[in-house]
Amino acid sequence: MKKPDYSRADYYSKKAKAHGFPARSVFKLQELDNRFKIFSKAMRVLDLGASPGSWIKYASEKVGDSGFVLGIDRNPLKLPLNFNENFIQADIFNLNPLDLKTKFGSFDLILSDLSPDLMGQKSTDALRAISLAERAFKFAEILLKPGGNFLVKVFEGPGYEDFYKFLKGSFASVNSSKPKSSRPNSREMYIYCKGFLVGKIKE
């Protein structure tokens, strides 16, 4: 079999397609998983910003047949669903996490790869990314099991430090990382939070 040629175009994009993933973002998740040991068998996972489907596919393979992955995105998936996966096409600002809890129960892990439509203004883009991350935390606040974990994407810039400090008040440990597979000019950071300390909705 001829080996894939990654020397032209984007290395990670071509590598993703060669391995059956629709987007290069799978290698970001793989790097973060290798560093933080995010997944385990039989986990229940919620994936926010799931389209085109690379993170759902990776997560479902990691949690195995006894696990479950629910993806949410305003855009459609580009992969068929496996039996241990589900998907809702919707804007997260139009969804009530309490309704999701009634239908699907709680989760061991919530992933958020949500990203704003970039405007090219670094400060504006960073603030809009924080808004999405804060919305993702609202889902975590309601849908995470006590002791559960949360991985969320943000951009370095205004609001980043304050959001990081905020998360430290709700989890036993909080760490950040920029995967090597992120584009060199990207300001994206991923914050991984372990051990959810709040088992109920904050009043």
Q: Give the residue numbers annotated as catalytic, written as ranges.
A: 153
Contact 71, 88 (CB under 8 A): yes
Residue 66 DSSP SS3? coil
Nearest to 27 by CA among 183, 192, 203, 194: 183
Question: Rounded to whole angstroms, what are the CA distances from 7 to 3, 4, 10, 125?
Answer: 12, 9, 8, 31
- Rounded-to-integer distance, Cα 167 and Cα 165, Å: 5
Alpha-carbon span 55 to 77, nearest angstrom: 11
Per-residue tokens: 88: 């809702």
- Sheet hosting strand 68-73, strand order edge to edge: 85-89, 68-73, 44-48, 107-112, 144-155, 188-196, 171-177
Q: Which residues contact 60 (CB under 8 A, 6 or more apart)?
A: 67, 69, 82, 84, 85
At 79, which helix (H) or strand (E)? Answer: none
